[in-house]
Structure 1
């Protein structure tokens, strides 16, 4: 190719991949191996000492996974990436590099219920403390900053309600506080929003969702924007201080603008161990090839379904940023002009019982705890994904008792609307 920068669809197919040099295979092979042969003793020592790049053991890195990492980094505009076993694993590995016991991070209150649970309960055993802020009130992030604050965490499109977060405004708060902004970009995918372009320092995904796209493989990924100075104020010793396990190397000095991705690999993944299977990496890579085609269809279908629901007499409210009347529509136009995503919620006039009943009457929609599938999915968050929250917290997170969440797939929109119509009428 020429010096022209490839477009998004081209990167989705080609970034990180080359024909296999041994066999000529065009598709990226599945390197289904636990370990790799060293050239000699010096080669082995240089790999273990971080003096050379290469493969040691699949828990730390694998050639199939490496193609996936390079591809997602290219799509997000980052310097490097690390693939792990799930989106939750990505969050653990990221925060392990940033937080010491007793430290705090600020998180937007509108998050996936599993993340709220992980942050509130599981992270307590590490001594990591979450402080909640309201993404509709940017000043609440400023008020939450303390000397113990080490990061801010948000979702670009919030799960379950589909609200759009003002990334640039919160990035300004993070910059002033001298901490990195972490953005979960799962619901948007880089096709709709590239958070690094708006001030994010770290991006995470559940690869299980739109990037993989077919509901068949778990995975997570961490993307390093290469924009944060990890030496500032001595806040981040994992990156700025000598690492005794690597003969005193300072990761930021040695690896520069991809030091955070290296830290996640050689300090996080190496010791915590949530490695991604090469087979799953292959499946997710295959899914990414059609990401731009799928995401546009997802968004077009979602808008049509949201418009139908907004006019239905049994529906009390629809929360979809693609509707002109929605409170997040202006943010959607700014951050996601190609579409406001495929996941949104609506409230039923019959409340909790009506929500549970509707889910049981749908036939084409699959009732399950996932989003981002080619198939359309439905769930009642208050009784499932957000059930661990009290009623007030459910409402604040966008999962009130009357709320139903839809993840709109790539079927014919007329069939999706017909299924909703029969279920609502029943």
Structure 2
């Protein structure tokens, strides 16, 4: 009775705390935004399709203009050939005949292209690494080099909002500028006087400096690669965070009105709106400070980029754990999970909520059934010799095994819950009701 009384008082304390109200508002806002992420992804997809359509139209217009210019040039050449047909003789030189089909037929006015061709980043990284390796090994100012670190500005976002209810507009600029500062060469007279020990120390310092610079160049490349692949998820998470903040403020004020409805004090609605605006401005400042990744260290930005890239490909983690579970167990109970990947999940661009709920429920049932059959209820469930391996219990997968299969089952369950939390956080747990127009 005393223990029950303690638990009841603990529950009363928890349910009456502000943290419980925070959890309630979090769950309510998450339920409201369950399909908002899918709608935002569809909107971004429609915008990209429209941009691709406009780009195709521009290229077609350029091609048609080029063909028209070529036709005009060809018509002019035909007129000149008709006029000069009587003048031409059989003793015309060879280069004149070659000149008649030269590239001047395709001359036209140069047009400025809207998008410049970007160099492959992998090639740029290779060039930087070769530049570091090709530096002079007999340099002197090594200490200045180690003090200078490659400066990188990667994924700086500007968050601007037009109204409290409008979605934030994020301008993402991914540029990586790595300034490699290598030591300058000194005169040959100064190096000849120095002893051999100092020269060997300088060579070691230069080698370590080069390794240091190469590592940071590779880290910057992977940061940009991960951010570029998970850019959509990053933008959607920022937008959903802003929308969730607005919904939390609204719910908090409603709960405050419900708790203070019996009091005699009069609530000034204008002051309440001003407080909401101040809270929202403070939140926007915190978000803008948090996304200013240029001031963060490389290790933090690498961790952040890997986290968003794992969010971008979290379903592949679940698929790989399903296959790993089948490999470790090799039973009929684990067979439906890999089959569901190819017969259900991959048939759509994004698996539905029904699929993940089914996989979660089936995995939980498998874990419970395997746990129950670990006890020796009857002789057939005991450890059988090698001659009796092809029994029904072993084929189904409820025999008594080691810890490898149970760890694989628990790892699969954790990966499924991790993917479920990511989908709910990004508003992708439920599919969007309607696809937004491209306009």
Larger radius of gyration: 2
Query: Where is the strand percentage greater, Structure 1 or Structure 2?
Result: 1
Is the shorter-chain TM-score for this pair beyond 0.5, marking a shared fold? no
TM-score (norm 1): 0.24
**Higher relative contact order at CA 8 Å, sep ≥6: structure 1 or structure 2?**
2
